[in-house]
Chain A
Amino acid sequence: MSRSYLPHWMHWLGSPPNFYRFAGAWRPWLMAAALIAGAIGLYGGLVLAPPDYQQGDAYRIIFIHVPSAWMSLFIYATMAVAGLIALVWRVKLAEVIAMECAPTGAAFTFITLVTGSLWGKPMWGTWWTWDARLTSELVLLFLYLGVIGLYNAFEDRRRGARAASLLALVGIVNLPIVHYSVQWWNTLHQGTTVDFLDPARSSIAPSMLWPLLVMALATHLYFFASLLGRTRTGLLSLESGKQWVRALVDGQPERTTGAPT
């Protein structure tokens, strides 16, 4: 069966040694861009943006909290898509990418919960409440931990990756629940303030919105940079017996295999 509907560079990039070099070339640039965007976003959010008329300066935690929360959903979706590719087409690289998404996603979910809890103490008067949004975000953290745990419970790492990918796909039902929880259940967590589909419905001042978006950009860039780095390490340890890794360790120039035509 021909697979001509995929461009050639995708096949080229799917090969571990090629991806290893591609990721190594892109990672420093992405990381630098993430640091610059993060610095601009934090300066804009912590210094330039005006204090809130009700919350004063305490609201500024949203510049960490909201981008982290977006990332916790975005990374899960990325992991599930990579997991689907790994399950359907048995692409080794997709397995590694899906599994390397999980720790970063769990970290962002954890940051979301901690920052939300720090903000909740002065604002709501409680560290934690069994609100729908909070509970579903906590379930998301457990799903990440379940994926990591299942992956590490297998002797054969490729089988573990496929099993954990399937678990990630099953858990994707939680994503719409997290996202719509503030609309479905009218509990303590506030509703959506940034609406990308209908900007007129957004209820955030432009002076607070732009640092938030820059921070979101920074977290995305950081995630991709860290994913590339993690995937490089994952590929090295998965392919440790292979010729290209041995050549890399010995310091010999690698033979390029099938450069794009």
Chain B
Amino acid sequence: MNEGRIGRSMPAAKAGMAGACIALLRRDFVLAWRRRGELFLPLLYAVIVAALFPFALGPDPELLARIAGGVLLVIVVLAMLPALESMFRADLEDGTLEQWLLAPQPLALLALIRVIAHWLTTVLPLIVVMPLLGVLLNLPVKVLPVLIVALLLATPLLALLGSVLSALAAGARRSGILMALMLLPLAVPVVIFAAGAVAAAQSGMPYIAPLMWLAAALVLAIVLAPLACAAALRIAVES
């Protein structure tokens, strides 16, 4: 396995809190890079789903422009789901999570680092292609910056919520549709505020308030979600 070699390559002197975080980030990046083909799958999924809408609804530019913001947000949520589900699965199976529990660093911190690595590797590329899909769906160009900001606030929030649910479902027998059943209710407010900001910007109204709500929720989630995630990981590891 690659993990062992990467772990040994870290100098022993860097065993502190920051050292552990850097080591974990590096490990996740290397693992993601070794399977870089998989990173394109959510992108492909998002592009295909976005292309389905004009086929289903007809290529009327005005209709597409009206629904584009909401459609793109829902596509992002759905494209995030499969990757979120397997956030901790491999680590639970090969015993890495047990080492996390034994590590001197707090489990919540390690979980937060994992969420950051996950967001950077699987969600950030999705946000990068969103302007392209926006243009494809005839979203006005002046709305694109608001869409990007809304996504930059909403997707980390979803990843944090998803990390808790993923840790909860890690020990379960089957979790595919279960993850959707658990995440989508919690994603409703996030989608409402993000889509609200995009819709407000599109109709020329002030769009700062929903973005502020998202930012406030994100700050709360950064503090609370890793703690809940750590509790869920403990349940998943111990039997």
Within 8 A of A (CB), among B170-221: 171-175, 178, 181-182, 184-186, 188-189
Within 8 A of A (CB), among B95-153: none
Do B239 and A153 have beta carbons less than 8 Å apart?
no
A residues less than 8 Å from B79 (CB atoms): none
| Residue tally, chain A, CB below 8 Å to B | 25
Do A146 and B181 have beta carbons less than 8 Å apart?
yes
Smallest Cβ distance from A52 to chain B, in angstroms?
33
Do A150 and B169 have beta carbons less than 8 Å apart?
yes
A residues less than 8 Å from B186 (CB atoms): 170-171
B residues less than 8 Å from A171 (CB atoms): 185-186
Do A154 and B173 have beta carbons less than 8 Å apart?
yes
B residues less than 8 Å from A208 (CB atoms): none
Our pick among A87, A135, A150, A156 for the contact of B188 (Cβ within 8 Å) is A135
B residues less than 8 Å from A166 (CB atoms): 164, 168, 228, 231-232, 235
Do B181 and A142 have beta carbons less than 8 Å apart?
yes
CA distance A159 to B173 in the complex (A): 12
Do B178 and A149 have beta carbons less than 8 Å apart?
yes
CA distance A106 to B169 in the complex (A): 21
Smallest Cβ distance from A113 to chain B, in angstroms?
14
Interface size of B as a range: 20 to 34
Smallest Cβ distance from A153 to chain B, in angstroms?
4
Smallest Cβ distance from A170 to chain B, in angstroms?
6
B residues less than 8 Å from A150 (CB atoms): 168-169, 172, 178, 182
Our pick among B171, B185, B232, B236 for the contact of A146 (Cβ within 8 Å) is B185
B73 at the interface (CB under 8 A from A): no
A77 at the interface (CB under 8 A from B): no
Do A154 and B172 have beta carbons less than 8 Å apart?
yes
Return the chain B residue nearest A163 by Cβ. Answer: B168
Do B228 and A163 have beta carbons less than 8 Å apart?
no
Given contacts A156-B239, A163-B235, contact A143 B185 (CB under 8 A): yes
CA distance A154 to B165 in the complex (A): 14
Smallest Cβ distance from B123 to chain A, in angstroms?
20
B residues less than 8 Å from A163 (CB atoms): 168-169, 171-172, 232, 235-236
CA distance A163 to B239 in the complex (A): 11
A198 at the interface (CB under 8 A from B): no
CA distance A154 to B186 in the complex (A): 22
B residues less than 8 Å from A162 (CB atoms): 235
Smallest Cβ distance from B98 to chain A, in angstroms?
15
Return the chain A residue nearest B170 by Cβ. Answer: A163
A residues less than 8 Å from B173 (CB atoms): 153-155
Return the chain A residue nearest B225 by Cβ. Answer: A170
B residues less than 8 Å from A145 (CB atoms): 181
Q: A139-B188, A146-B181, A159-B238 are in contact. List 13 more A-B contacts (CB 8 A).
A: A135-B188, A142-B181, A149-B182, A150-B169, A150-B178, A153-B169, A153-B173, A153-B175, A159-B235, A163-B172, A163-B232, A166-B164, A167-B165
Binding site for A on B (CB under 8 A): 161, 164-165, 168-169, 171-175, 178, 181-182, 184-186, 188-189, 228, 231-232, 235-236, 238-239
Binding site for B on A (CB under 8 A): 87, 135, 139, 142-143, 145-146, 149-150, 153-156, 159-160, 162-164, 166-167, 169-171, 174, 177
Closest 4 CB pairs of A and B: A153-B172, A142-B185, A146-B182, A139-B185
> 20 A–B contact pairs at CB < 8 A?
A135-B188, A139-B185, A139-B188, A142-B184, A142-B185, A146-B181, A150-B168, A150-B169, A150-B172, A153-B173, A153-B178, A154-B171, A156-B239, A159-B235, A159-B239, A163-B235, A167-B182, A169-B228, A170-B165, A170-B186
